[in-house]
Each structure stands twice: as C-alpha cells, then as structure tokens.
C-alpha cells in the first residue's frame, strides 16, 4: 500500500511537472514575441507533455531496484542503466521498439515511432509497479 502510494505521488508529480513545463514554454514563447501557438505548436507542446508523463512511467523500475538494493545508489545506477539501454537501442536501430527509448524518439520525430511502439513503453510501469509493491511486501516495508 505504501509503495503504491509513493508511486502514485511520483506519477502525479511527473504529470504536474509536464503540465507546468508546457505552460512555461508557451508563456516564454509568447513573451519572446513568437505569438500565440498555432496548430503545429500545440502538437509540439502536447508531445512535450506526453514525453514527460511517459518518462515518469519508464522511471518506475528505479524504485524497484532501489527497494531491492535497499539504498539510493542502486537506484541511481539503474537510472543510468536505463539511459544506456535506451541509447544502445537507438544506435542499434531498435529504438522505436525499445520501451525506454520510444517516447523520446517519438517526441523528437513523431513519424519514426508508431502508436504500437509508443504503447510498448507502458509495459514498463505495468511490469515494475506490481514488482515494486511485491518487493515492499516481501521485505515487510509496507507496515
């Protein structure tokens, strides 16, 4: 229960951060004289928001690794590992099918990643959220 609450707060925080980021980017753009966002700009702002939310979801394995490693250093190492795995996936040509890389590739160049590939990024939270909750339960951290 505690692990799920922490993960839920993390997802809400990540989503709120994405919304604030989009708002700040739009306001700064207007302030710099670029004018009101047109249809293309709104699509780009939407991609920024979705990238932030999806990035929050694909960071959930860090919580699982931190739980198993019983410390922050293992979580930091797994975060770096996620970035390395994503980079290798992109360089090898499998980027769109790599759940850790697909959101960023889609945000940069939407035509390179289809919706099925983007949806594969949701495999990560679906797998690691319950794994984290189970790890907390087995380690008796949920009391």
The Cα angle at residue 133 between residues 55 and 64, in degrees rounded to 5: 50
| 43 part of a folded domain | yes
Q: What is the mean pLDDT of residues 78-88?
A: 93
Q: Does residue 139 surpass a pLDDT of 90?
A: no
| 130 part of a folded domain | yes
Q: Yes or no: say if 48 and 26 are a contact pair by the CB < 8 Å rule.
A: no
**Reported pTM:** 0.85
| 143 part of a folded domain | no
pLDDT tens profile 93-124: 888 899 999 999 998 888 888 999 999 999 99
| 9 part of a folded domain | yes
Count of structural domains, the chain: 1
């Amino acid at each position: 229960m505690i692990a799920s609450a922490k993960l839920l707060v993390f997802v809400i925080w990540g989503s709120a951060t994405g919304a604030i980021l989009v708002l700040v980017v739009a306001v700064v753009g207007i302030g710099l004289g670029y004018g009101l966002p047109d249809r293309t700009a709104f699509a780009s702002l939407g991609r920024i928001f979705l990238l932030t939310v999806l990035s929050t979801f694909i960071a959930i394995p860090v919580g699982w690794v931190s739980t198993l490693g019983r410390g922050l250093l293992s979580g930091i190492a797994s975060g770096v590992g996620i970035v390395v795995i994503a980079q290798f996936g992109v360089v090898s040509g499998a980027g769109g099918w790599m759940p850790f890389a697909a959101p960023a590739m889609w945000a940069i160049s939407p035509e390179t990643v289809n919706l099925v590939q983007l949806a594969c990024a949701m495999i990560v939270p679906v797998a690691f959220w319950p794994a984290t909750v189970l790890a907390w339960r087995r380690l008796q951290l949920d009391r």
